């Protein structure tokens, strides 16, 4: 059964009234996707197109993520990227991903962080550090810290 999933629009409160919109990557034209992917080498196109979302700010794609099912009720934020010029939107994006996970009936969301600033942000958003790595096939990197969020 094919499930039709719509885009998600999130309004960001700032002085300019900017909006952030999440779109299924599979719904984005190849031209727009290629334009976005030309800005970074940190994104796996195949994973993104086969189950990820892009983040549109204004009329441009500025980020993306893949929320992958590990097992029933358990998800892994497998990819997360946002352009440097939009990095201030990362906290709102992470909160939006948690809301999206709730709509998928998630009980737990795991994140593998590679940057100290992301560790600080995850801690502030009530993710909890994990002593052991999530058992997933081919994590992008071995180094870094695993975090988990209990979805309520």
Q: Residue 57 falls within a domain, yes or no?
A: yes
Q: Residue 55 falls within a domain, yes or no?
A: yes
Considering the entire predicted model, what is its pTM? 0.85
Q: Residue 3 falls within a domain, yes or no?
A: no
Q: Residue 31 falls within a domain, yes or no?
A: yes
Q: How many domains does the chain have?
A: 1
Q: Residue 2 falls within a domain, yes or no?
A: no
pLDDT by residue for the chain (152 residues), tens only, comes to: 334 455 565 545 455 566 888 999 999 999 999 999 999 998 999 999 998 999 999 889 999 999 999 999 999 999 999 999 998 899 989 999 999 999 999 999 999 998 898 999 999 999 999 988 888 765 556 788 999 999 98
DSSP bridge partners of 145: 113
Q: Residue 143 falls within a domain, yes or no?
A: yes
Q: Residue 85 falls within a domain, yes or no?
A: yes
Tell me how far the alpha carbon of residue 7 is from its chain's centroid: 14
Domain of 75, in residue numbers:
8-150
CATH code, 144: 3.40.630.30
| Contact in structure between 19 and 7 (CB atoms under 8 Å) | no
């Amino acid at each position: 059964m094919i499930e039709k999933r719509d885009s998600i629009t999130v309004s960001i409160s700032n002085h300019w009234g900017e909006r952030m919109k999440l779109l299924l990557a599979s719904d984005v034209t190849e031209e727009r996707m290629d334009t976005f992917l030309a800005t970074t080498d940190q994104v796996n196109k195949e994973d993104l197109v086969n189950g990820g979302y892009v983040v549109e700010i204004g009329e441009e794609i500025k980020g993306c993520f893949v929320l992958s099912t590990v097992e029933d009720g358990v998800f892994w934020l497998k990819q997360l990227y946002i352009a440097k010029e939009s990095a201030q939107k990362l906290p709102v994006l992470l909160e939006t991903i948690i809301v999206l996970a709730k709509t998928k009936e998630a009980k737990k969301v795991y994140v593998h962080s590679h940057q100290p600033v992301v560790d600080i942000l995850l801690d502030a958003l009530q993710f909890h550090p994990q002593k052991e790595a999530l058992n997933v096939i081919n994590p992008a990197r071995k180094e870094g810290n695993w975090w988990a969020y209990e979805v309520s």
